[in-house]
Amino acid sequence: MKFLGPNKVSLTSENGDYSEVGFANALIAVGTRPHRPSDVPFDKTRVFDSDEMLELHRLPRTLTVIGAGVIGVEYATIFSALDVPVTLVEPRNSILDFVDREIVDDFIHQMRDRGMTIRLGSAVKEIRSRPEAAEVELADGRTIRSEVVLYAAGRTGNVGSLGLDVVGIEADSRGRIKVDPQTFQTSVPNIYAAGDVIGFPSLASTSMEQGRVAACHAFGVTLPPPPETFPYGIYAVPEISTVGHSEEQVRQSGGAYEVGVARFRETSRGHIMGVDTGFLKLLFSIETRRLLGAHIVGEGATELIHIGQAVINLGGTVDFFVNNTFNYPTLAEAYKIAGLDAWNRMGR
């Protein structure tokens, strides 16, 4: 597909058939593909991108993952859980900056405790594909050798063939399109964009909602105000999920707050499952007692987070967790434990 103007596109099928179609409104939802710098020797033998990794015929003996974003840590921890020795390389000094720091610190500890090597603040100078192994030379002079390298440093929007210049829409260096965050309109009012192609948060769940909002706006359908928050899920081992404000954001806002924490090993279900790690962290406003944020690292995090999401979006307070009964034994009981932990310090 290619734009011919603000109200017309050309369509070319796989067998070469060509047609032109007019439209009143358009929604760009073309997604992204792995970022592939020209100086990285992708060969599907030693050096892979995140899509090509799905085509591996066997587990590698050793793996180096370059890029500790969401995709990088998901792949790194999955292979580590399969007993593959993994080295994770990230040029920045931190990872997952949008996640509460205490959750990330625990996550990094669990990765290292499993035997993963993590190189933060390590820029990559060169990647070499050798017949016997792949080599990653770092800027500090160290060289990492492994059977396979996964390069997972970002993604690029699939906009190259759309002819965006014809309609006056600009994409950034990674092919992402800027939109109005409320309506998802691009700089051309009747052309919308949604999903990964507009950047963060790049989730399937939020992408579907963005598309729905854009379609409703295009056809004049009135929508209710959007929910206050949405959950973010990282399907690593262990899982991470977060909703609402992180402790860093709450602290920056200047309001008084309290924190409640529940370790999964403190729950009976955790004992039954043999869970030794993972915890739930809740943040409450002292002034309003409302739940401001819920953050989980550990077993079932992406399922458990929806309780916190509902309470935040419905304006619930710490008293909800203290006064309500949770099924026993469940990991969800951690919400009551964390609520009581905060309530004991907040007072009545």
User: For residue 257, what is the enclosing H or E element?
Assistant: strand 257-263
In angstroms, the CA 203 to CA 64 distance is 25
Average the pLDDT over 267-275 and give the result: 95
Domain-embedded: residue 74: yes
Assess if residue 85 is contained within a domain. Answer: yes
The whole-number average pLDDT for the span 201-218 is 94
Q: Indicate whether 80 and 6 sit together in one domain.
A: no
Query: What is the model's pTM?
Result: 0.92
Residues 202 and 254 in one domain: no
Same domain, 17 and 89: no
Judged against a pLDDT cut of 70, whether residue 305 lies above it is answered with: yes
75 and 20 share one domain: no
Q: Is the pLDDT of residue 130 over 70?
A: yes
Alpha helices (H) in the chain, listed in sequence order: 70-81, 101-113, 164-167, 204-218, 247-253, 268-273, 301-313, 318-323, 334-346
Q: Would residue 54 count as lying in a domain?
A: yes
* 227 lies in some domain: no
**Which of 106, 125, 153 represents a domain boundary (last residue)?**
153
Q: What's 249's domain CATH number?
A: 3.30.390.30
pLDDT score at 129: 96
- From residue 89, alpha-carbon distances to 34, 120, 138, 246 in Å are 17, 6, 9, 25
Whether residue 259 sits in one domain with residue 316: yes
- List of residues 6+ apart from 300 with CB closer than 8 A: 239, 331
Query: At residue 325, does pLDDT exceed 90?
Result: yes
- Average pLDDT, integer, range 98-106: 97
Summarize pLDDT for 151-189 with one digit per residue, the tens. 999 999 999 999 999 999 999 999 999 999 999 999 999
Residue 223 is assigned to a structural domain of this protein: no
Lowest average pLDDT, out of 222-226, 240-244, 325-329, goes to 222-226
> Which residue, of 107, 125, 153, is where some domain finishes?
153
Distance of alpha carbon 7 from alpha carbon 148, whole angstroms = 47
Residues 144 and 277 in one domain: no
pLDDT tier at 228 (50, 70, 90 boundaries)? confident
Residue 341 has pLDDT above 70, yes or no: yes
Assess if residue 226 is contained within a domain. no
* pLDDT cut 90: percent of the chain above it: 95
Domain boundary among 153, 174, 206: 153
Residue 258 domain flag: yes
Q: Peptide bond before 201: cis, by omega within 30 degrees of 0?
A: yes
- 112 & 208 share domain: no
Same domain for 144 and 165? Answer: no
Q: Are residues 300 and 339 in the same domain?
A: yes
Q: What is the mean pLDDT of the chain?
A: 96
Percentage of residues in the chain with pLDDT exceeding 70? 100
Q: What residue has token string 């591996």?
A: 56
Residue 258 structure tokens: 């309290």
Sheet holding 124-129, edge to edge: 124-129, 134-138, 143-146
In the predicted model, what is the mean pLDDT of residues 142-152?
A: 98
| 123 & 190 share domain | no
Domain of 109, CATH number, reads 3.50.50.60
* Beta-sheet strands, E only, within 168-247: 191-193, 232-234, 240-244
Rounded to an integer, the average pLDDT of 209-214 is 95
Determine the pLDDT at residue 224: 84
If asked whether residues 72 and 53 sit together in one domain, one would say yes
For residue 282 the two structure tokens come to 């809740």
Q: pLDDT, tens digit, for every residue of 276-301?
A: 999 999 999 999 999 999 999 999 99
Query: Do strands 134-138 and 124-129 pair parallel, antiparallel, or not at all (unpaired)?
Result: antiparallel
Which tokens go with 71? Answer: 């995709």
Q: Domain count of the chain? A: 3
Q: Distance of CA 128 to CAs 15, 66, 67, 257, Å? A: 38, 13, 17, 50
Structural domain that includes position 49: 36-153
Q: What is the mean pLDDT of residues 140-158?
A: 96
Domain shared by 48 and 132, yes or no: yes
Question: Would you say residue 176 lies in a domain?
Answer: yes
CB neighbours (10 Å) of residue 138?
17
Residue 348 in this model has a pLDDT that exceeds 70: no
